[in-house]
Chains A and B, each alone.
Chain A
Amino acid sequence: AQSVAQPEDQVNVAEGNPLTVKCTYSVSGNPYLFWYVQYPNRGLQFLLKYITGDNLVKGSYGFEAEFNKSQTSFHLKKPSALVSDSALYFCAVRVRTGANNLFFGTGTRLTVIP
């Protein structure tokens, strides 16, 4: 069965510093991996995805994520955090064949401190 783990409920980082939001997954087969961001009272916004190819994928708002198959991880990163990046971040996985629905992690609240 698919599962996604986001080990940190909360991540605090100073503005201008690099940020990392961690995600590990467990699936039977090769995964499709996604990051979404949720701002207060808003829906989920797509940030980036890994399907195949280059393990480093770049997405919206300067975010990037690195797929690591041996560690079954897909950590979200940004070189320089902005206060406006403060939000709830969700990692999600979808198995390549069969089900096309998303399995979400529990979310990580990112707070960027001015």
Chain B
Amino acid sequence: EPEVTQTPSHQVTQMGQEVILRCVPISNHLYFYWYRQILGQKVEFLVSFYNNEISEKSEIFDDQFSVERPDGSNFTLKIRSTKLEDSAMYFCASTIGLAGGPGYNEQFFGPGTRLTVL
């Protein structure tokens, strides 16, 4: 069964450093997402991406964040200058987005990258 994969599983970085989190969505999916889950809290939407551009973003997704689909398979989240409060589990998700639009279809989530900012 196809699945969303994410690397690395755990990233430790120093405050102020740049990090890039990587995701490989399911191959025939068209919509891609990043979510985060701070320890003990709910999953929060960061950004959605379609047709090589951001389609929506939340208030959390400020200028320190960027996303890119550098090739036909990878989808990355970059945090330019990490802060302590960026420590969280980051989930990538994708959906096929057909048959009535992306809202109709369930999103498939990767296993997450745990980011620890020291």
Contact = CB atoms under 8 A, between A and B. Distances in A.
Interface of A: 32, 34, 36, 41-46, 49, 51, 90, 92, 94-97, 99-107
A47 B52 CA distance: 29
14 contacts: A32-B103, A42-B112, A45-B109, A46-B107, A49-B106, A51-B104, A97-B103, A100-B102, A100-B103, A101-B45, A102-B45, A103-B45, A106-B41, A107-B42
Interface string B33-60: 1010000011111001000000110100
Interface residues of B, number: 27
Interface of B: 4, 6, 31, 33, 35, 41-45, 48, 55-56, 58, 91, 93, 101-104, 106-112
B106 A44 contact: no
B107 A102 contact: yes
B33 A43 contact: no
Nearest to A6: B42
Nearest to B110: A43
A92 B55 CA distance: 20
Given A44-B43, A90-B43, A99 B109 contact: no
B56 to A, nearest CB: 6
A94 B103 contact: yes
Given A43-B4, A46-B107, A99 B56 contact: yes
Contacts of A34: 106
A44 B91 contact: yes
A5 B42 CA distance: 11
Contacts of A36: 109
B112 A43 contact: yes
A41 to B, nearest CB: 8
Contacts of A92: 43
Nearest to A35: B106
A92 B58 CA distance: 16
A104 B44 contact: yes
A32 B106 CA distance: 10
